[in-house]
Amino acid sequence: MRSAINAQIREELDSAYLYLGLSAYMDGLNLRGCAHWLRMQWQEEIQHALKFLDFLLQRNCEVELKALAAPAFSAKTPLEIFELVLAHECHITACIHELYALAVVEHDYASQTLLQWFITEQLEEEQSARDIIDDLRLAGDSGASLLLLDRELAARQAED
């Protein structure tokens, strides 16, 4: 379980790095609201990594930080970018579910409690990405609608 949680810390930091890259890309498209939303997401992923890391420390387990790869993506349009976000979140959900299954096999009740928080969080993560994708599909080729959506995304606040 310790080793699997260490691997998940890297997954969360990878997510953060990906979203930071996507945020910078969106800023380059002058979609500053999308860039802001993705930067908030970057911050949230760092919090997720810290939640796992602090859990290991609390249990007196060794933390092994692993190397991160540079984020690489071929998505270009806002719709493609948020489809990538959703696909990535689905991947993270699968990782969390695997971790939970392992915690059950190992009778690791403390990990199960921690992971229940992440299971709920992943529902929200996927839903947020789906909502933005739906809005982008509705906006279609309308620059005015995209601008409105971009302004809406600019309002995202950091979570506690």
Determine the Cα–Cα distance for residues 156 and 160; give it in Å rounded to an integer: 13
Position of minimal CB gap to ligand OFO: 15
Q: Does 135 bind ligand OFO (CB under 6 A)?
A: no
Q: Does 48 bind ligand OFO (CB under 6 A)?
A: yes
Question: Contact 27/33 with Cβ under 8 angstroms?
Answer: no
Q: Does 12 bind ligand OFO (CB under 6 A)?
A: yes
Q: Does 23 bind ligand OFO (CB under 6 A)?
A: no
Answer for which of 33, 36, 38, 45 binds ligand OFO (CB under 6 A) is 45
Answer for which of 9, 92, 99, 146 binds ligand OFO (CB under 6 A) is 92
Q: How many residues bind ligand OFO (CB under 6 A)?
A: 7
The residues of the shown chain that bind ligand OFO, judged by CB under 6 A, are 12, 15, 45, 48, 89, 92, 125
